Amino acid sequence: MIVAAEAVAAPRCALVGDRSGADAPRAKGHSLRTCYPRGNITMSEAPRAETFVFLDLEATGLPSVEPEIAELSLFAVHRSSLENPEHDESGALVLPRVLDKLTLCMCPERPFTAKASEITGLSSEGLARCRKAGFDGAVVRTLQAFLSRQAGPICLVAHNGFDYDFPLLCAELRRLGARLPRDTVCLDTLPALRGLDRAHSHGTRARGRQGYSLGSLFHRYFRAEPSAAHSAEGDVHTLLLIFLHRAAELLAWADEQARGWAHIEPMYLPPDDPSLEA
C-alpha cells in the first residue's frame, strides 16, 4: 500500500445504485480530506459481522493528488475461520484453507507519481500495454458478485483504511453511482492495534519506538519479512496473518469499534457531483 510507505504518521451483501453503463469524468475533483467523521459507529447498532473482507489498494499517489486505484485485492474470510486460526505442522500460523480471493489491475487515467510507481512497481505504460481498463462498471459488477457470495453483514478490513483505502474506494464507487450496503462496516487495523497496545501498557509509553507499518508489525510478530510487499495481494496476505496473530482481540475490537460504511466520506468528489451545489 502506498500510504504505509509514504505517510508520516444477516442478508448477503451487494453493491447498489450502480451507474456502470456511464463512466463519470475523471477531471480533478474536490478534496474532502478534512471532512472525515472521527466518531465511530459501533457494532452494537447492528448484528456482528459474519464475513471479514481484507482489502488493500495500490493507487497513483497520495491523497493530495486525488489518486485513482490501479490494483485492488480482497480476501474474504468467515468469522469462524478467524475464531479458529489454522497452523502448519511446525505450529506456524497459516491462512485459512477456506477463503475467497479477488485481485484486479486497472489502468488509471491520471498518471502515477514517481514515488508511487517506484513503490508499487506499476505504471500507466505497463497497465496499458496489458490492455487493462480503468475502474469502471465491470469492476463494480465484479465486486458486487464477489461480495454477494459472502455471508453478511460484512466488515471491510484495511491497514490505514480510514485515511486511505476506504475513502479512495468510496470516491471511485461514488463516481459510478455505486455504494455498499448500509450494514457494511469497516475496521482500520492501524488505530486498532495501537489502541490494543496502549491498553496492554495501561496507558504508559511502550518501551522503545514501535512501528505500525505492515512490515514492522509482521517482523515484530513473526520475526521475518513479509513477501510481495506493496502489491495489493501481498499486502492483504500480510494483513490477514497479522490479524490472525491477534484475532481474538481484533474481533472484539471490531464488534465494538467498527465504523459504518455509510459514514465513510469519499477522498474527493468528481466535479459534477450534486453535493457540490449545496
Q: Determine, yes or no, domain membership for 33.
A: no
Q: Determine, yes or no, domain membership for 35.
A: no
**Higher pLDDT, residue 34 or 48:** 48
User: Looking at residue 241, which CATH number applies to its domain?
Assistant: 3.30.420.10
Residue 41 has pLDDT above 90, yes or no: no
Q: How many domains is the chain partitioned into structurally? A: 1
Interval 251-265: pLDDT, tens: 999 999 999 999 999
Q: Determine, yes or no, domain membership for 270.
A: no
Q: Which residues carry out catalysis? A: 230
**Structural domain containing residue 91:** 2-16+41-260
Q: Which of 6, 52, 14 is nearest to 189 (CA)?
A: 52
pLDDT of residue 126: 98
State residue 117 phi and psi, 5-degree precision.
-65, -40
Q: Determine, yes or no, domain membership for 61.
A: yes
pLDDT of residue 11: 44
- Cβ distance 49 to 83 under 8 Å? no
In this prediction, residue 270 has a pLDDT band, given cuts at 50, 70 and 90, of confident
pLDDT of residue 201: 82
C-alpha to C-alpha distance for 226 and 234, rounded to whole angstroms: 8
In this prediction, residue 230 has a pLDDT band, given cuts at 50, 70 and 90, of confident
Mean pLDDT of the chain: 86
pLDDT of residue 243: 99
Q: Determine, yes or no, domain membership for 269.
A: no
In this prediction, residue 149 has a pLDDT band, given cuts at 50, 70 and 90, of very high
pLDDT of residue 116: 97
Dig out the grid coordinates for 253 from the structure: 475490537
Q: Determine, yes or no, domain membership for 22.
A: no
Residue 27 has pLDDT above 70, yes or no: no
Q: Determine, yes or no, domain membership for 176.
A: yes
**Higher pLDDT, residue 207 or 110:** 110
Q: Which of 194, 189, 147 is nearest to 166 (CA)?
A: 189
Q: Determine, yes or no, domain membership for 209.
A: yes
